[in-house]
Amino acid sequence: MTVTLTTSGPLPPEKGAEHTYDVTVIGAGVVGAAIARELSRYQLRTALIDAADDIGNGTSKANTAILHTGFDAVPGSLEARLVREGRDLLADYAADTGIPVERVGALLVAWDEDQLAALPLLRDKAVRNGYHASRIIDADELRAREPHLGPGALGALDVPDESIICPWTTPLAFATQAVRAGVHLHLNCRLRDVRSDAGGHTLTTSRGPLRTRYLVNAAGLYADEIDRLLGHDVFTVTPRRGQLIVFDKLARDLVGHILLPVPGPAGKGVLIAPTVFGNVLLGPTAEELDDKTATGSTAEGLHLLREKGRRIVPGLLDEEVTAVYAGLRAATGQEDYRIQEYPALRYVAVGGIRSTGLTASMAIGRHVMELLAATGLDHGEPHPLPPLTMPGLGDASPRPYLSARLIAGDPAYGTLVCHCEQVTLGEIRDALASTIPPNSLDGLRRRTRARGGRCQGFYCGAAVRALFEEARP
Ligand SMILES: Cc1cc2nc3c(=O)[nH]c(=O)nc-3n(C[C@H](O)[C@H](O)[C@H](O)COP(=O)(O)OP(=O)(O)OC[C@H]3O[C@@H](n4cnc5c(N)ncnc54)[C@H](O)[C@@H]3O)c2cc1C
């Protein structure tokens, strides 16, 4: 296995057929990584490039991490189809590769008569979306299943297949498999301009020129700007910020399910959800912004979340906060994705992947593969990808520090470095030597959970940094 992963220096030279990629994917978020993984099944020279120093470093690292059923999507939309298909694909893939998933189920809680009256409509919508397992439960059953719910809940729609998933392992798994199967990954590589001709595209990047026959634009918040470089003016991305609060693991017993509000005119609203790491999330807000870099949290946003959260599970607000974060949804003013192929240009735009892209990622990958074929890409026969096993970061996964067998084989798996998250020396060492190693302490945290617990690195920070620095070339 030859892995091509570059983070600096010039890209392969522009001239010569052997240096022309067949397909280049711009953006290594969960969507671009899923597309690259799909492409890696074929005998193609594929490049995946990202402006950041890691995969999954944009919106993909900051979401609510729910593997949706798609029960509430707009029936008949492309998003509805790809979420439904993507959910099944990702659930199976997660089971095969060890990506943490827990099928905790969701309860859409009605807090007034209007919301109660809306539940049958939501159940019907779920059926139109091909989801038949939801049912309405009364206030007594709701309270029995969620005893810490605030007063006044009148009933709920039970959606038993909504699940929680690890948002960081997912794009890492896709990219790892793609790179092992021959995709070239170029990080710290920002696309600045595109010149298209009959044979393809010459990309101007921050690391020099790159030549490709076909181009896929999966640049998330910046997909509109890249689409304009290709001569289109079809959609504009307006970042919609979602701020979230992460509560300490001691809060985990307060919440059994994903607690969703009944959606109203202002959108999907604020939810409370467990995470696969054993924390509880409260959020997200929905703020229309014009700054694509505004991923900070605000006092007003956090105040609003606390107010909403107090009504849903009052006891949650007494618990310690571990962290706050915010992500930006790539909204485009249309309640659907903006995926479009341009055969004459040998180009596919993958825009507007707003609030369901984690769930739909694998189905988007397949869809884009079909569009590339329709655009003229002759990809030949697919070959099976070698199996992959990802580290089990979830609390429900077998953690190395609990495995007598692993520790007997290598005591590093019994040596805790991050005590809050029980991360061992062995896991940190493995992440630093992995196919796509981290280029920052945050990247290491997303691969191991080290520094992600209640002390946020106060105790283990120096030790983790020393291991990180030691491993750097
Ligand atoms: C608050 C919030 C909650 C969410 N909750 C969920 C959820 O529970 N379930 C779910 O399924 N989805 C959820 N989502 C949606 C999901 O996170 C996104 O749909 C998904 O992450 C989009 O992935 P992406 O790859 O399209 O974009 P990104 O992850 O943003 O990736 C785009 C990449 O393109 C790169 N890039 C941009 N411009 C350039 C350039 N010029 N050159 C090179 N690289 C470039 C960026 O660096 C970035 O890495 C949520 C989103 C938010 C914000």
Distance CA 212, CA 184 (A): 12
Question: How confident is the model at residue 220, as a pLDDT?
Answer: 98
pLDDT per residue as tens digits for the range 78-116: 999 999 999 999 999 999 999 999 999 999 999 999 999
Strands 287-288 and 163-165: unpaired
Please choose from 68, 230, 355 the residue to mutate so as to test ligand 1's pocket, defined by most ligand atoms within 8 A of CB.
355
Phi first, then psi, for residue 37 (nearest 5°) are: -60, -40
CA dist 288 to 91, 182, 255, 304, 332, Å? 31, 40, 29, 15, 11
Pairing of strands 280-283, 258-261: unpaired
Query: How much distance in Å is there from the Cα of 292 to the middle of ligand 1?
Result: 12
CB of 175 sitting under 6 A from ligand 1 = no
Question: Residue 18: what pLDDT?
Answer: 59
Confidence of residue 15 (pLDDT cuts 50, 70, 90): low
* Interatomic CA distance for residues 327 and 20, integer angstroms: 35
Question: According to the model, what pLDDT value does residue 38 have?
Answer: 98
CA of 425 to the centre of ligand 1 (A): 31
9-23, 342-356, 384-398, range with the lowest pLDDT:
9-23
Determine whether 303 is an active site residue.
no
**Mean pLDDT over all residues of the chain?**
96
| Per-position b or e across 16-47, b if 16+ CB within 10 A of its CB | eeeebbbbbbbbbbbbbbbbbbbbbbbebbbb
- State how far the Cα of 158 lies from the Cα of 133, in Å rounded to an integer: 8
Q: Where are the beta strands (DSSP E) in 72-190?
A: 101-102, 106-110, 135-138, 155-159, 163-165, 184-186
Is the pLDDT score of 388 beyond 80? yes
Interatomic CA distance for residues 170 and 33, integer angstroms: 9
The percentage of residues in the chain with a pLDDT greater than 90, rounded to a whole number, is: 95
Predicted confidence at residue 19, as pLDDT, reads: 78
pLDDT of residue 398: 87
Distance 145 CA to ligand 1 centre (A): 33
Instruction: Please list the residues that pair with 240 across neighbouring strands.
Output: 288, 329
Helix (H, G, I), strand (E, B) or coil at 288: strand
Judge if the beta carbon of residue 359 lies within 6 A of ligand 1.
Answer: yes
Per-residue pLDDT at 379 exceeds 60: yes
Global pTM reads 0.97
**Domains identified in the chain and CATH numbers:** 5-60+168-236+334-374 (3.50.50.60), 106-160+238-331 (3.30.9.10), 400-471 (no CATH)
Structure tokens at 120: 């049958």
CA of 149 to the centre of ligand 1 (A): 32
CA of 65, closest atom in ligand 1: 8
> Which is higher by pLDDT, 18 or 446?
446
Q: Is 276 helix (H, G, I), strand (E, B) or coil?
A: coil
Give the residue whose CA is nearest to atom 1 of ligand 1.
242
What does the pLDDT read at residue 397? 87
For 311-321, what is the mean pLDDT? 97
**Rounded CA separation 445/440 (Å):** 9
**CA dist 168 → 25, 34, 100 (Å):** 20, 13, 10
Mutate to test the pocket of ligand 1, among 30, 59, 332 (most ligand atoms within 8 A of CB): 59
Catalytic residue, chosen from 19, 68, 257, 383, is 68
Is the backbone peptide bond immediately before 386 cis, with ω within 30 degrees of 0?
A: no
pLDDT digits (tens, 9 = 90+) for 188-228: 999 999 999 999 999 999 999 999 999 999 999 999 999 99
Residue 387: what pLDDT?
A: 95
Model confidence over 106-163: pLDDT tens digits? 999 999 999 999 999 999 999 999 999 999 999 999 999 999 999 999 999 999 999 9
Supply the pLDDT for residue 322. Answer: 97
pLDDT at 66 over 80: yes
**Across 177-195, average pLDDT:** 98
Going by C-alpha positions, the residue among 105, 111, 117 that lies closest to residue 145 is 105
The DSSP secondary-structure symbol of 267 reads: B
Q: Does the pLDDT value for residue 271 go beyond 70?
A: yes
Give 20-76 as a DSSP string.
-EEEEEE--SHHHHHHHHHHTTSS--EEEE-SSSSTT-SGGGSS--EE---TTS-TT
pLDDT in the model for residue 12 = 73
- Nearest atom, ligand 1, residue 226 CA: 41
Judge whether residue 364 has pLDDT over 60.
Answer: yes
pLDDT at 323 over 60: yes
Largest CA distance in the chain: 71
Residue 181 has pLDDT above 60, yes or no: yes
pLDDT score for 472: 83
The predicted pLDDT at position 2 comes to 87
Region 233-252: mean pLDDT is: 97
Q: Give me the mean pLDDT over the 272-285 stretch.
A: 98
Give first-to-last CA distance, the chain, whole Å.
21
Dihedral sign of CA atoms 424, 430, 433, 437 in order = negative
**Per-residue pLDDT at 266:** 63
C-alpha 404 to ligand 1 mean position (Å):
38
Give 383-415 as a 3 state SS string: CCCCCCCCCCCCCCCCCHHHCHHHHHHCHHHHC
Give CA–CA dist 455/418, Å, rounded: 9
CB 78 within 8 A of CB 49: no
